[in-house]
Amino acid sequence: MSNFSKKIIVAIDTIDIDEALSISSMIKNVGAFKLGLEFFCANGPQGIHKISNTGANIFLDLKFHDIPNTVVGALKASLKLHPYMLTVHLSGGLNMLRSSLEIVEDYCSKMNIPIPLILGVSVLTSIDQSDFSSLGISGKVEDQVKRLADLAINSGLGGMVCSAKELKTIRTHVGEKLKLITPGIRPLGGEANDQKRIVTPSQAVKDGADYLVIGRPITEAKDPQLALDKICSEI
């Protein structure tokens, strides 16, 4: 069961630092804890440090997307937090992505610290085909995710965030060239909440996910560790 738990990234969807610390202390042996934009805006780097000081791996999910110089500066500042994973939007383009990877590798080499896994964000799981069409991008969501996967590979990134609904197709498309991280995971009987494209943990693993991002089904359970163990059993 511990092998499966390392595939789980627990999303801490609260801005309350004490609650976040409590959640991270109750859950053991997961791949990482995901801290996103809301948590960062509320608590800043100090809040990230408080969680990482517990010994937990941090998936810093800030989804950087701007001109290359701005993203490079933001990444350089973020690396001081020693994240295990970082996210950048693939739609930022090849130059932004390559610049991001270059600054991360250079900084970590100079500081003699582990290089975090840089993940490219493809199409958000809250977006479905009707939303996608309204953005003025031709083709299906799946087609765009494939294009973005190729961009991730060409830019040298180590992984990609993609919906579980496109997971099987993307795994076939990229082979083992990218780690695939999948949000929108709900255990059997779980609620969809604001995710439109979801699958169960066992199906996601079968389809080729390296990591599963799961939040409320674990963090809002009466016993988060027991909820995690049940998900691992389901897998």
Q: Which residue numbers are catalytic?
A: 63
Decide: helix, strand or coil at residue 46. Answer: helix
Q: Please state the three-class secondary structure of 119-134 as a single string.
A: EEECCCCCCCHHHHHH
* Listed residue (210, 215, 200) closest to 38, CA to CA: 215
Dist CA 43 CA 16 (whole Å): 8
Phi then psi dihedrals of residue 181, to 5 deg: -110, 125
DSSP string, 192-228: -TT-SS-B-HHHHHHTT-SEEEE-HHHHTSSSHHHHH
Inter-residue contact 194 to 214 (CB < 8 Å): no
Give the type of residue at 67.
I
* Listed residue (107, 144, 120, 126) closest to 61, CA to CA: 120
Q: For residues 195, 200, 204 and 210, what is the CA-based torsion angle, rounded to 10 degrees?
A: 80
Distances in whole angstroms, Cα of residue 215 to Cα of each of 2, 109, 128, 137, 184: 18, 33, 20, 30, 9
Contacts of 151 (CB under 8 A, 6+ apart): 90, 93, 94, 97, 120
